[in-house]
């Protein structure tokens, strides 16, 4: 799995939906503090989006459309 980057939870779920509509599997990796606090501050609460290695380049292209 490769990381597409870190995003706010809202952004992450929008991006996840877009990529999944293109047939790309997405895993959201969320830090525990984000689940507890429900907000981001200096990177705390951000989530990381992961895609399979073989779909990484295609996922980047989809996001730049």
Residue (of 44, 45, 48, 27) closest to 35 by Cα position: 45
pLDDT at 35: 52
CATH number at residue 48: 3.30.70.1530
pLDDT at 46: 84
pLDDT at 64: 93
Query: Which domain range does residue 45 map to?
Result: 2-64
pTM for this entry = 0.79
Residue 42: DSSP 8-state: T
The pLDDT tens digits of the residues spanning 3-61 come to: 999 998 899 999 999 999 999 999 999 865 545 555 545 555 788 999 999 999 999 99
Count of domains for the chain: 1
SS3 assignment, position 41? strand
pLDDT at 26: 97
């Amino acid at each position: 799995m490769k990381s597409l980057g870190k995003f706010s939870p809202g952004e992450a779920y929008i991006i996840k939906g877009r990529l999944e509509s293109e047939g790309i599997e997405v895993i959201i990796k969320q830090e525990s503090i984000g689940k507890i606090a429900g907000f981001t501050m200096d990177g705390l609460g951000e989530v990381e989006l992961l895609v399979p290695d073989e779909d990484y380049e295609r996922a980047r292209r989809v996001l730049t459309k």
